[in-house]
């Protein structure tokens, strides 16, 4: 992804950088428009229908885009196919805005080519009308609780939360033509698993074809006009994000079942475990994996990050809601609409003569490639390197220019220099003269060597390059 300064992006000025997603042993790099959306195709290899899920069309609805992201990172598709766009309006997500350039979900009927989001609309339209796509879900968070009649201020026909939205009862399509029946089945499934009785789901038929001018501009109605079954899923904004995501996932799993898509998820469906899954194993790798940062419990500021002189920053993430944007001479890391940390760089020329170090970890000798985390129970030591020096950030027991060959325990490192708030993860940096060679993280609270092959990320993430 191109790296952008938000303010300059709004003025049409772009900074070039590269973002790629990593998952398991799969790495996909693509130079795409600044903060453009990504497409992730979870294809089972077993013949079946294809379901398209879209999140983040409005940036102030985190239940939808976090739920979509969880499908990418924590689900296995065992039959059929699921395509996911978890970050359709990425700039608005970061800005916590319904739409920086207006409501993106009102631009699917007529749109002037000069609109800043014209290309985004064209790209998502191409995906929607792809012949392989059988059914489309657009994930939202809506206010209050939809009801057919007026109950009170939060429960009435003008509220949008807790419902499945359809534009009409049926369409002329080969598959899944009975939209109303499919929606009612999804609602019944959700209502069997309510966390509280008052959080009931309903079907909301907007009857767009009868003259609803606002709904005629939406993504779902564009799909309907192209003979694709399409549904809006609305969780209530009265809930925190994990509960919203809970209801989104319940609804999506019903649609999986109704389209014959078999699946497996690796967490229990509850608010608690959804919150854990959203924050699970969030990593950022910088500059060809010379640097790995574990982000989910990161400090608000990380200083003196050794970035490459006279070069555009490159980064990889293992979550489609992760990105980095410029902030003056530094960088901010976001996960969806959550700002996580500020990276203050220190610039070096890079040394490429070394890609790993040998360490004695709790008495065992290990070769640790740069861009990894190694778990330490009691102590570690970096073996001496010819022509290279080691700098353990925060180590203060004795002053020396090279900290290799020294047994290090947790109480030898100042807690304030950890990258995490708990004071457990520390940077081990390697240099050759004044050049930066690479970094390894040591985790005194971890459970083993961590590369990018974390269990929750073993997914075939696919940037659909033809869309960009």
CB neighbours (10 Å) of residue 412?
A: 16
The greatest distance separating any two alpha carbons of the chain, rounded to the nearest whole angstrom, comes to 78
Residue 456: predicted pLDDT: 34
| Cα–Cα dist 92/398, whole Å | 49
Which SS3 state, helix, strand or coil, does residue 459 take? coil
CA distance 68 to 90: 13
- For strands 330-335 and 338-348, give the pairing: antiparallel
Task: Extract the tokens encoding 305.
Answer: 């990050």
* CA atoms within 13 A of residue 252's CA, in its CB half-sphere: 37
pLDDT at 22: 41
For domain 35-278, the CATH architecture is 3-Layer(aba) Sandwich (3.40)
- For 380-394, the DSSP string reads EEEPP-TT-EEEETT
Convert the pLDDT of each residue in 137-159 to its tens digit.
999 999 999 999 999 999 999 99
- Angstrom distance (rounded) from CA 415 to CA 425: 9
How large is the C-alpha radius of gyration of the chain? 24
As a whole number of angstroms, the distance between CA 395 and CA 96 comes to 39
Residue 286: strand pairing partners: 291, 315
Q: Which helix (H) or strand (E) covers residue 9, if one does? A: helix 6-10
Three-state DSSP class for residue 66? helix
pLDDT digits (tens, 9 = 90+) for 46-74: 999 999 999 999 999 999 999 999 999 99
Question: What's the CA angle centered on 130, arms 127 and 133, to 5 degrees?
Answer: 95
Helix extents (H) in 82-231: 90-95, 118-128, 179-191, 219-225
In the prediction, which pLDDT does 420 show? 96
Both tokens assigned to 220:
């779902």
pLDDT at position 449, please?
Answer: 55
Q: What are the C-alpha distances in Å from 86 to residues 48, 113, 435?
A: 22, 25, 39
Task: Report pLDDT for 447.
Answer: 67
In this predicted model, which residue has the larger pLDDT, 217 or 281? 217
d(CA 313, CA 20): 12
SS3 118: helix
* 101-151 per-position pLDDT tens digit: 999 999 999 999 999 999 999 999 999 999 999 999 999 999 999 999 999
Q: Are 356 and 368 in contact (CB under 8 A)?
A: yes
Q: Where in the chain is the domain with CATH 3.40.630.10?
A: 35-278
* Whole-number Å distance between alpha carbons of 360 and 338: 37
Range in 245-259, 363-377, 394-408, 426-440 with the lowest mean pLDDT: 394-408
Q: List the structure tokens of 372.
A: 């990894």
For the segment 271-319, what is each residue's pLDDT rounded down to a tens digit? 999 999 999 889 999 999 999 999 989 999 999 999 999 998 899 999 9
How far CA 416 is from CA of 193, 301, 378, in Å, comes to 44, 11, 19
Of 133, 124, 130, 127, which Cα lies nearest the Cα of 51?
A: 133
pLDDT category of residue 18 using cuts at 50, 70 and 90: very low
In eight-state DSSP terms, residue 468 is -
pLDDT reported for residue 3 = 41
Q: State pTM to two decimals.
A: 0.88
Q: How would residue 35 be classed by pLDDT, with cut points 50, 70 and 90?
A: confident
Joined together, the tokens standing for residue 130 give 């792809």
CB atoms within 10 A of CB 301: 10
Model confidence pLDDT, tens digit, residues 235-284? 999 999 999 999 999 999 999 999 999 999 999 999 999 999 999 889 99
- % the chain with pLDDT above 70: 88
pLDDT reported for residue 346: 96
Phi/psi for 278 (5° steps) reads -60, -40
Instruction: Report the distance separating Cα 300 and Cα 340, nearest Å.
Output: 7
From 145, 219, 135, select the one nearest 179 (Cα to Cα): 135
């Amino acid at each position: 992804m191109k790296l952008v300064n938000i303010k300059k992006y709004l003025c049409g000025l772009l900074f070039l950088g590269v973002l790629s997603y990593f998952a398991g042993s799969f790495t996909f790099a693509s130079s795409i428009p600044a903060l453009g959306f990504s497409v992730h195709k979870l294809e089972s290899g077993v013949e079946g229908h294809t379901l398209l899920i879209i999140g983040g069309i409005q940036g102030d609805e985190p239940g939808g885009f976090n739920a979509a992201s969880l499908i990418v990172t924590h689900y296995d598709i065992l039959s059929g196919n699921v395509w996911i766009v978890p970050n359709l309006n990425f700039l608005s997500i970061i800005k916590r805005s319904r739409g920086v350039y207006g409501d993106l979900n009102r631009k699917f009927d007529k749109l002037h080519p000069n609109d800043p989001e014209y290309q985004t609309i064209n790209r998502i339209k191409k995906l929607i009308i792809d012949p392989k796509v059988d059914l489309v879900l657009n994930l939202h968070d809506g206010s209050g609780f939809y009801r057919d009649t007026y109950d009170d201020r939060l429960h009435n026909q003008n509220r949008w939360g807790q419902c499945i939205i359809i534009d009409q009862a049926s369409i002329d399509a080969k598959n899944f033509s009975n939209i109303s029946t499919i929606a009612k089945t999804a609602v019944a499934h959700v209502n069997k698993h309510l966390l509280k009785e008052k959080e009931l789901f309903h079907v909301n038929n907007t009857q767009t074809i009868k003259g609803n001018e606002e709904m005629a501009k939406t993504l779902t109605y564009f799909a309907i006009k192209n003979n694709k079954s399409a549904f809006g899923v609305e969780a209530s904004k009265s809930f925190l994000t994990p509960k919203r995501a809970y209801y989104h996932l319940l609804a999506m799993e019903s649609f999986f079942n109704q389209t014959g898509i078999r699946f497996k998820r690796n967490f229990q469906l509850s608010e608690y475990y959804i919150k854990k899954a959203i924050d699970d194993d969030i990593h950022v790798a910088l500059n060809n994996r010379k640097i790995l940062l574990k982000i989910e419990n990161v400090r608000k500021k990380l200083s003196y990050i050794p970035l490459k002189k006279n070069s555009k920053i490159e980064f990889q993430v293992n979550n489609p809601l992760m990105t980095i944007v410029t902030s003056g001479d530094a960088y901010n890391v976001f996960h969806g609409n959550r700002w996580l940390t500020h990276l203050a760089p220190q610039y070096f020329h890079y040394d490429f003569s070394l890609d790993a170090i040998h360490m004695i970890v709790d008495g065992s000798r290990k070769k640790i490639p740069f861009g990894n985390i190694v778990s330490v129970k009691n102590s570690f030591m970096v073996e001496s390197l010819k022509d290279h020096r080691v700098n353990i950030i925060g180590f203060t027991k004795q002053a020396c220019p090279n900290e290799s060959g020294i047994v290090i325990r947790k109480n030898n490192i100042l807690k304030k220099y950890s990258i995490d708030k708990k004071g457990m993860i520390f940077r081990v940096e390697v240099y050759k003269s004044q050049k930066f060679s690479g970094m390894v993280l040591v985790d005194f609270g971890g459970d083993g060597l961590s590369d990018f092959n974390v269990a929750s990320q073993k997914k075939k993430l696919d940037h659909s390059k033809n869309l960009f």
